Homo-oligomer: A and B are copies of this chain.
Amino acid sequence: MHRYFIELAYKGTHFCGWQLQPNGITVQGELERVMTLLLREPVRLTGAGRTDSGVHASCFVAHFDASSEELHKDVTLLYKLNQLISSDISVYRIYPVASDAHARFDAVSRTYQYRIAKVKNPFTIELAYHLYRPLDMEAMNTAAKILPEYTDFTSFSKLHGNAVTNLCRLTEAYWAENVQSKELTFTITANRFLRNMVRAVVGTMLEIGLGKRLPEDIRQIIEAKDRSAAGTSAPPQGLYLTNIVYPCKTRL
């Protein structure tokens, strides 16, 4: 068997997330079904992570094995795949990797972005969280700057998550404003993320931006190591997985 990475994007609105579910349409399920049809052999994908129901990905990576060693040379494969699959999924690339390359374990960093629309925009209802109340950007950025000082994000993890550790190394976390599109974007990069973590972090920072908490409160919240100390999760439609980085050695 030969191993490949597949790069894709999807609009999460109509999916029950990335990962296969017994009841519900998922990105993994749709891709596996269409790829099994095209490759005429069972295809099982291993994603770089999982995204929740309604969360988008402008860049997602998964690996799979196939008996052919020339899949990436078949110029019509991508075309057929994109024709057959939902218009909510776009496959960008399929390329060979080392036989032990792993989309999840080899990823050295992941980046998420969270989009907030500050004014009603009929073109982004499904693509951003619409929140028209004034937000204190300076307070939110003060809180964001504190995040990378910590590594244990238990306070922002799903209550019954089954992760072995709750440790994450954050390399960036900041809010930016796009004056033209009247949107705010939060960008966060880490070696790994806990389940529901970005939405819990964003939800907590929004409470800071709305004046319900102080920027420095984020320290007590993290140090409590208790999900109930943090704010409610921000809704899924604003969240995008935007990048996953692999070491060069993964490539064939």
Contact = CB atoms under 8 A, between A and B. Distances in A.
Contact of A87 (B91, B119, B125): B125
B122 A87 contact: yes
Contacts of A82: 120
Interface string A110-153: 00000000011111010100100000000000000000000000
Contacts of A130: 87
A251 to B, nearest CB: 23
* Copies of this chain held together in the complex: 2
Interface in A75-100: 82, 87-91
A11 interface: yes
B122 A89 contact: yes
Nearest to A130: B87
Given A82-B120, A120-B82, A88 B125 contact: yes
A3 interface: no
Contacts of A91: 120
Contacts of A125: 11, 87-88
A143 to B, nearest CB: 28
A203 to B, nearest CB: 21
B121 A9 contact: yes
A4 to B, nearest CB: 19
A9 B88 contact: no
Contacts of A11: 122-123, 125
Contacts of A186: none
Interface in A1-52: 9-11
A199 B88 CA distance: 25
A102 interface: no
Interface of A: 9-11, 56, 58, 82, 87-91, 119-123, 125, 127, 130
7 contacts: A9-B123, A58-B123, A87-B120, A87-B122, A88-B125, A89-B122, A91-B120
Closest 4 CB pairs of A and B: A90-B120, A11-B122, A87-B125, A88-B122
